[in-house]
Amino acid sequence: MKRLVVFDLGRVLVRICDGWQHAFERAGVALPQDVLDAPTRERLLEGVKRIEVGDIPVEAFCEEIAGHLRVSCEVVTKMWQGYCLGPFDGADRLLVDLRAAGATTACLSNTNAEHWRTLTDPDDPHGRVINRLDHRFASHLLRARKPNEAIYERVERATGFDPGQITFFDDVEENVAAARGRGWRTHLIERCENPIPTIRKYLVEDNVL
């Protein structure tokens, strides 16, 4: 049976920062703990959701976040540009092996224009891995984000695979549940140092590798 293997990117194929505090520390700024209180985190999340469906440009998002956190827009931009930390060890080999096994591959990512630029840059380590995928689906380009059912339907229509032929890996339970509801075979990836060995194990169990 033909198989389509669909990957989320962050914490599945790609290492990313462990939250806002970590991302700002990497950018050289230590945010006071009281700045990131619950209401502020909620406002930041709403901003992320808006750029992930292309409602606002990343530049406007950075200006908005700078106002919430009382830091410069330049600092926020630097933080956001450094959020993706590189592909996990073994991710490239995994995609090579899936192609050799006859599987079609894709990513389905809630992302934004800035991160997508890095993730698909052929001269960047991210791009050298992500560009091996046969199909690439990004929320800001599709104007919908997981777990919206429309984005999963878009993958089915664009690739020509039936739900029962699709295996999906994601680190967010609600995204996995939505895919499962459409009939996809799903695997929830727990946060860990490197999920690639676990993904390989699941693919062997599913008779894909």
Instruction: Parse the chain into domains and list their residue ranges.
Output: 4-15+86-205, 20-81
pLDDT value at residue 61: 93
pLDDT value at residue 31: 83
C-alpha 164/C-alpha 153 separation (Å) is 13
pLDDT value at residue 32: 77
pLDDT value at residue 94: 98
C-alpha 102/C-alpha 165 separation (Å) is 13
Give CATH superfamily name and number for 4-15+86-205: HAD superfamily/HAD-like (3.40.50.1000)
CA angle 47, 50, 55 (to 5 degrees): 135
pLDDT value at residue 34: 81
Q: Which of 168, 200, 160, 207 is nearest to 184 (CA)?
A: 168
How does strand 135-138 pair with strand 4-7? Answer: unpaired
pLDDT value at residue 70: 86
Note the pTM of the prediction, 2 decimals.
Answer: 0.95
Contact 108/9 with Cβ under 8 angstroms?
no
C-alpha 28/C-alpha 139 separation (Å) is 29
pLDDT value at residue 29: 87
pLDDT value at residue 88: 98
Contact 196/89 with Cβ under 8 angstroms?
yes
Q: Which of 53, 72, 73 is nearest to 62 (CA)?
A: 73
pLDDT value at residue 30: 84
Identify the segments of the chain with pLDDT beneath 50: none
Q: Which of 15, 206, 10 is nearest to 103 (CA)?
A: 206
In the block, tokens 């079609």 appear at 104
